[in-house]
């Protein structure tokens, strides 16, 4: 029966301690890298948040300016003329859309008529004729 000598025991303890140290170092480096990545993502999110707040502020200013311009235009009476022309343009666009739809449907109907009647079975001998 073999007993563990003092030098062998010290070697086992030293190897275990060295392995634990290497594992600790690898784990520390891994989590430092993860922490740096998360920090970079957080910084990017903070910059995006700041930019979004700046854009929201600009949008509020633009809305305020547009509301002032609209109130001035209403006072001048030009808003009703602009609204009337916008309604006329929308009606013309709707008519053009309906006409284009009718043309497409007509083209599809003629294309279906040209292909003949479908009977639901595949032609298994296309070159037999």
3-class DSSP string for the chain: CCCCCHHHHHHHHHHHHHHHHHHHHHHHHHHHHHHHHHHHHHHHHHHHHHHHHHHHHHHHHHHHHHHHHHHHHHHHCHHHHHHHHHHHHHHHHHHHHHHHHHHHHHHHHHHHHHHCCCCCCCCCCCCCC
* Mean of the per-residue pLDDT values of the chain: 83
For residue range 15-70, list pLDDT tens digits in order. 999 999 999 999 999 999 999 999 999 999 999 999 999 999 999 999 999 888 88
* pLDDT number for residue 108: 75
């Amino acid at each position: 029966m073999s007993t563990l000598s003092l030098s062998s025991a010290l070697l086992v303890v030293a190897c275990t301690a060295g392995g634990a140290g290497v594992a600790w170092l690898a784990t520390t480096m891994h989590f430092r890298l993860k922490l740096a990545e998360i920090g970079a993502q957080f910084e990017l999110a903070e910059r995006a948040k700041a930019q979004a707040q700046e854009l929201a502020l600009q949008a509020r200013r633009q809305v305020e300016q547009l509301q002032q311009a609209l109130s001035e235009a209403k006072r001048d009476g030009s808003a009703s003329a602009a609204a009337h022309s916008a309604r006329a343009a929308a009606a013309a666009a709707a008519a053009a859309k309906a006409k284009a739809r009718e043309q497409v449907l007509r083209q599809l109907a003629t294309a279906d008529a040209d292909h003949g009647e479908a009977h639901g079975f595949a032609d298994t001998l296309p070159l037999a004729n």
